[in-house]
């Protein structure tokens, strides 16, 4: 190490200690413990800029493309100012940071090398991009002096290829010149702390600008303060129009999307005022309680008897904070009888998604409060239970009975497992009841696990279930368990996963132990990618390339990692309950393996009800969409 490097380290350590002693960046700056003008490398200034924005956690897989940032983090961590979480896979790193933001609101940065590491993180960034979560990504990039190809760059003779690649998925910025730092940080702040729809921000760090030394950098340039939120939608007459339409309609359905997260109370009041029923996105399970008489639960191609009845029959749609994704929207065929749409959204494109729309562009909760105030002045729309509500509630009872029938037959004979094993619906019901009773946060991985999961969960409030239906990224749930170790307020996580999804990201077994994750992986093993196999069967009558013949001993796999408690979930409700109890008592990470049924018995699943523009359903679905013309 050169003496220059030693000096740098001492300066960094002194600055980090000054910030810690002052109680934070702002305090240190205000007290002069941190001078306004400092000499430092671009990487250190970047870390200071992130600190100012409240980013103190860095989930990383370092490489030659990020050693300088890594060195700054090392020294700052010595002073207890930041914390790095080295993990084994960038996809897992991104999932953990996204889960942390989602569950706790805390921000984190994913740090990778150049090339494969960065691109893996980008793939996983589909999650925060789809679910509207603000996450920082610090990624190595090729040098901006272009002395020749850098190892791991995109091998073409063109400029800014990584920037172009990353800009497609989210907001991206190349820190091409040290002087651009404040703008880069501002763009990141606006993206990651976006008041309505956060997203991934990719900060590309050229190998040669990371160590650039700046003299007299003015710390005042580092941006702070979250961007302001949109207020309620403007009242240009649209509220009266909307209120009239809502009161005139006979069968109102309110579609509650991810953007309605903060608006549960307002939606509950609206439902009473307009005699509406709600269908909810899995993203906001519990935004109104499961048992609420007007909650018709999920709808769409993996919907429910009651949710799909409500969407099929409704004559007016009130859409709140939704993107109308195919699975919940039956690929734009979910509302065949709807004559009018009232759409509340903060996004100009989304608010005009359907035709025949009265758009209300603004914050959902604030707009709903104003709308409810207008509706309260009107004579009551109905007294007692209307025919619409009665019909919907009847369907909800049918749905409850349909589910209960499955829970009463919790095991079925399975050829692969050679005997009776639990069905997924039974196992998920047992596990999520357990999670609710123990205040464990449930995460769901993609596949049948996810679809059955959001048809089953009975959330009485937000925050119990996190099901990544935006990108439906296999491996998200198990990776999300790392967030239990990152969070300021620790929580216990239950990751419900399939054999396919777990195998995508088994790194959690190691990373979880290393960083002290507290949670349980419930691996529902049907020895295949059943969701896709079932889709193939429904469409073409045959399965293809969705399973293999390799028996995997997942318990041995879990046992191979010191610190993981491996538990056999067995083949009965009681054995699964016992395993969950044991897992809950373990102060660390556990894995429960449960063989589950796959086959044609209708009691083995929860069914699909809506339409979907995929495979050989395309022709009829598209034809219907155009016939409806919404």
Ligand X SMILES: Cc1ncc(C[n+]2csc(CCOP(=O)(O)OP(=O)(O)O)c2C)c(N)n1
Q: Which residues make up the interface to ligand X (CB under 6 A)?
A: 445-449, 472-474, 498-501, 504, 526, 528-532
Q: Choose the one of Mg ion, ligand X, none that binds residue 96, judging by a C-beta under 5 to 8 angstroms depending on kind.
A: none
Nearer to ligand X, 223 or 303 (CB): 303
**208: phi > 0 → left, psi -120 to 50 → alpha, else beta; which?**
alpha
Distances (CA, A) of 594 to 190, 268, 490, 571, 572: 44, 38, 27, 7, 9
Collapsing DSSP to helix, strand or coil, 11 comes out as: helix
526 binds Mg ion (CB under 5 A): yes
Instruction: Say what angle helices 364-376 and 238-248 make with each other, to 10 degrees.
Output: 60
The minimum distance between CB 463 and ligand X, in angstroms, equals 24
414 binds Mg ion (CB under 5 A): no
The minimum distance between CB 523 and Mg ion, in angstroms, equals 9
Nearer to Mg ion, 201 or 502 (CB): 502
Nearer to Mg ion, 358 or 427 (CB): 427
Collapsing DSSP to helix, strand or coil, 522 comes out as: strand
Nearer to Mg ion, 372 or 505 (CB): 505
End-to-end CA distance of the chain: 67
Q: Looking at 151-159, 282-290, 522-530, 605-613, which segment touches Mg ion (CB under 5 A)?
A: 522-530
**26: phi > 0 → left, psi -120 to 50 → alpha, else beta; which?**
alpha
H or E segment to which residue 496 belongs: strand 493-498
Q: Looking at 31-39, 77-85, 351-359, 524-532, which segment touches Mg ion (CB under 5 A)?
A: 524-532
**Which of 50, 101, 45 lies closest to 68 in space, CA to CA?**
45
Q: Choose the one of ligand X, Mg ion, none that binds residue 472, judging by a C-beta under 5 to 8 angstroms depending on kind.
A: ligand X
**Other C-beta atoms within 10 Å of 83: how many?**
15
Listed in order, strand segments (DSSP E) in 239-339 are 252-256, 276-280, 316-320
**Which 426-445 residues touch Mg ion, going by CB under 5 A?**
none
Nearer to ligand X, 536 or 582 (CB): 536
Give 479's Cβ-side CA count (13 Å radius): 28
Q: Choose the one of Mg ion, ligand X, none that binds residue 511, judging by a C-beta under 5 to 8 angstroms depending on kind.
A: none
With 0-12 / 13-18 / 19 or more C-beta atoms within 10 angstroms meaning exposed / middle / buried, residue 545 is: exposed
Listed in order, strand segments (DSSP E) in 197-284 are 200-206, 213-218, 252-256, 276-280
The contact pattern for Mg ion, residues 528-547, with x = CB under 5 A and - = no contact, is --x-----------------
With 0-12 / 13-18 / 19 or more C-beta atoms within 10 angstroms meaning exposed / middle / buried, residue 238 is: middle
Nearer to Mg ion, 68 or 499 (CB): 499
Backbone angles phi, psi at 24, to 5 degrees: 145, 170
Q: Choose the one of Mg ion, ligand X, none that binds residue 209, judging by a C-beta under 5 to 8 angstroms depending on kind.
A: none
The minimum distance between CB 487 and ligand X, in angstroms, equals 25
**Other C-beta atoms within 10 Å of 146: how many?**
11
Nearer to Mg ion, 462 or 552 (CB): 552
The minimum distance between CB 502 and Mg ion, in angstroms, equals 9
Q: Choose the one of Mg ion, ligand X, none that binds residue 473, judging by a C-beta under 5 to 8 angstroms depending on kind.
A: ligand X
Nearer to ligand X, 108 or 451 (CB): 451
Whose structure tokens read 């604030």?
366
Reduced DSSP (H G I as helix, E B as strand, rest coil) percent helix, strand, coil of the chain, to 5: 45, 15, 40
With 0-12 / 13-18 / 19 or more C-beta atoms within 10 angstroms meaning exposed / middle / buried, residue 548 is: exposed
Q: Choose the one of ligand X, Mg ion, none that binds residue 333, judging by a C-beta under 5 to 8 angstroms depending on kind.
A: none
- Kindly state the DSSP code that residue 565 receives in the 8-state scheme: E
Nearer to ligand X, 185 or 449 (CB): 449
Q: Choose the one of Mg ion, ligand X, none that binds residue 280, judging by a C-beta under 5 to 8 angstroms depending on kind.
A: none
Instruction: Say what angle helices 364-376 and 264-274 make with each other, to 10 degrees.
Output: 30
Q: Choose the one of ligand X, Mg ion, none that binds residue 360, judging by a C-beta under 5 to 8 angstroms depending on kind.
A: none
Euclidean distance between CA atoms 290 and 26, whole angstroms? 44
Exposure string over 504-527, b if 16+ CB within 10 A, otherwise e: bbbbbbbbbbbbebbbbbbbbbbb
Q: Choose the one of ligand X, Mg ion, none that binds residue 449, judging by a C-beta under 5 to 8 angstroms depending on kind.
A: ligand X
Q: Choose the one of ligand X, Mg ion, none that binds residue 446, judging by a C-beta under 5 to 8 angstroms depending on kind.
A: ligand X
Q: Choose the one of Mg ion, ligand X, none that binds residue 89, judging by a C-beta under 5 to 8 angstroms depending on kind.
A: none
The minimum distance between CB 527 and Mg ion, in angstroms, equals 7
Q: Looking at 2-10, 372-380, 480-488, 497-505, which segment touches Mg ion (CB under 5 A)?
A: 497-505
Handedness of CA 155, 156, 162, 167 (dihedral sign): negative
The minimum distance between CB 252 and ligand X, in angstroms, equals 33
Q: Choose the one of Mg ion, ligand X, none that binds residue 608, judging by a C-beta under 5 to 8 angstroms depending on kind.
A: none
The alpha carbons of the chain give a radius of gyration, in whole angstroms, of 26
Q: Looking at 61-69, 194-202, 309-317, 493-501, which segment touches Mg ion (CB under 5 A)?
A: 493-501
499 binds Mg ion (CB under 5 A): yes
Residue number of the CB closest to ligand X reads 498
Nearer to ligand X, 500 or 570 (CB): 500
The minimum distance between CB 97 and ligand X, in angstroms, equals 17
The minimum distance between CB 452 and ligand X, in angstroms, equals 8
Nearer to ligand X, 348 or 545 (CB): 545
The minimum distance between CB 543 and ligand X, in angstroms, equals 12
Nearer to ligand X, 259 or 475 (CB): 475
Handedness of CA 218, 220, 226, 227 (dihedral sign): negative
The minimum distance between CB 501 and ligand X, in angstroms, equals 3
Nearer to ligand X, 363 or 525 (CB): 525
Pair of tokens at residue 287:
């935004």
Nearer to ligand X, 350 or 448 (CB): 448
The minimum distance between CB 93 and ligand X, in angstroms, equals 15
Backbone angles phi, psi at 315, to 5 degrees: -105, -10
Euclidean distance between CA atoms 596 and 604, whole angstroms? 9
Q: How many residues bind Mg ion (CB under 5 A)?
A: 5
Q: Looking at 201-209, 258-266, 347-355, 494-502, which segment touches Mg ion (CB under 5 A)?
A: 494-502
The minimum distance between CB 416 and ligand X, in angstroms, equals 12
Q: Contact positions toward Mg ion, by CB under 5 A?
A: 498-500, 526, 530
């Amino acid at each position: 190490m050169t003496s220059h490097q030693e000096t740098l380290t001492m300066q960094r350590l002194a600055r980090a200690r000054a910030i810690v002693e002052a109680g934070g960046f702002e305090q240190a700056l205000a007290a002069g413990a941190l001078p306004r003008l400092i000499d430092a490398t671009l990487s250190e200034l970047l870390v200071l800029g992130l600190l100012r924005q409240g980013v103190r956690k860095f989930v990383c897989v370092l490489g030659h493309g990020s050693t300088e940032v890594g060195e700054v983090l090392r020294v700052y961590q010595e002073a207890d100012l930041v914390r790095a979480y080295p993990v084994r896979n960038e996809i897992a790193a991104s999932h953990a940071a996204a889960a942390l933001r989602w569950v706790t609101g805390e921000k984190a940065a994913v740090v990778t090398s150049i090339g494969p590491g960065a691109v893996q993180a980008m793939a996983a960034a589909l999650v925060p991009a789809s679910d509207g979560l603000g996450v920082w990504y610090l990624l190595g990039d090729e040098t901006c002096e272009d002395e020749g190809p850098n190892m791991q760059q995109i091998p073409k003779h063109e400029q800014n290829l990584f920037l172009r690649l990353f800009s497609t998925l989210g907001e991206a910025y190349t820190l091409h010149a040290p002087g651009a730092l404040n703008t880069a940080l501002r763009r990141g702040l606006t993206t990651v702390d976006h008041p309505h729809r956060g997203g991934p921000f990719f900060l590309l760090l050229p190998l040669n600008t990371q160590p650039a030394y700046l003299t007299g950098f003015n710390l005042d340039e580092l941006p702070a303060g979250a961007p302001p939120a949109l207020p309620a939608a403007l009242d240009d007459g649209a509220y009266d129009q909307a209120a009239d339409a809502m009161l005139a309609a006979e069968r109102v359905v309110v579609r509650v999307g991810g953007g309605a997260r903060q608006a549960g109370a307002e939606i509950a009041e609206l439902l009473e005022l307009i005699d509406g029923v709600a269908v909810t996105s899995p993203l906001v399970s519990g935004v109104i309680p499961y048992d609420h008489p007007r909650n018709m639960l999920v709808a769409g191609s993996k919907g429910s008897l009651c949710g799909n009845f409500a969407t099929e029959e409704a004559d007016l749609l009130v859409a709140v904070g939704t993107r109308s994704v195919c699975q919940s929207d039956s690929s734009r065929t979910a509302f065949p009888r709807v004559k009018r749409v009232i759409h509340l959204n903060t996004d100009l494109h989304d608010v005009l998604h359907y035709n025949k729309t009265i758009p209300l562009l603004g914050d959902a909760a604030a707009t709903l409060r104003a709308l409810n105030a207008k509706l309260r002045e009107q004579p009551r729309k109905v007294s007692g239970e209307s025919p619409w509500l009665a019909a919907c509630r009847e369907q909800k009872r049918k749905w409850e009975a349909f589910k209960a029938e499955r829970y009463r037959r919790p095991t079925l004979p399975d050829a692969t497992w050679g005997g009776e094993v639990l069905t997924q619906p039974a196992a998920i019901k047992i596990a999520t009841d357990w999670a609710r009773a123990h205040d464990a946060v449930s995460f769901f991985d993609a596949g049948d696990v996810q679809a059955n999961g959001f048809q089953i969960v009975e959330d009485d409030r937000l925050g119990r279930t996190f099901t990544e239906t935006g990108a439906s990224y296999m491996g998200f749930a198990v990776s999300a368990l790392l967030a239990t170790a990152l969070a300021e307020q620790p929580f216990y996580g239950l990751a419900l996963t399939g054999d396919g999804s777990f195998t995508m990201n088994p790194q959690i077994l190691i990373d979880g132990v290393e960083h002290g994750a507290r949670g349980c992986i419930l691996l529902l093993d049907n020895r295949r990618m059943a969701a896709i196999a079932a889709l193939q069967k429904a469409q073409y009558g045959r399965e293809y390339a969705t399973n293999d013949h390799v028996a995997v001993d997942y318990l041995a796999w879990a046992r191979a990692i010191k610190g993981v408690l491996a538990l056999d979930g067995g083949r009965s409700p009681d054995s699964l309950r016992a395993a969950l109890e044991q897992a809950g008592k373990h102060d660390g990470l556990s894995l429960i393996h449960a063989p589950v049924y796959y086959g044609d018995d209708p009691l083995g699943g929860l069914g699909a009800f809506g339409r979907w523009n995929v495979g050989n359903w395309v022709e009829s679905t598209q034809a219907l969409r155009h016939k409806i013309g919404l």
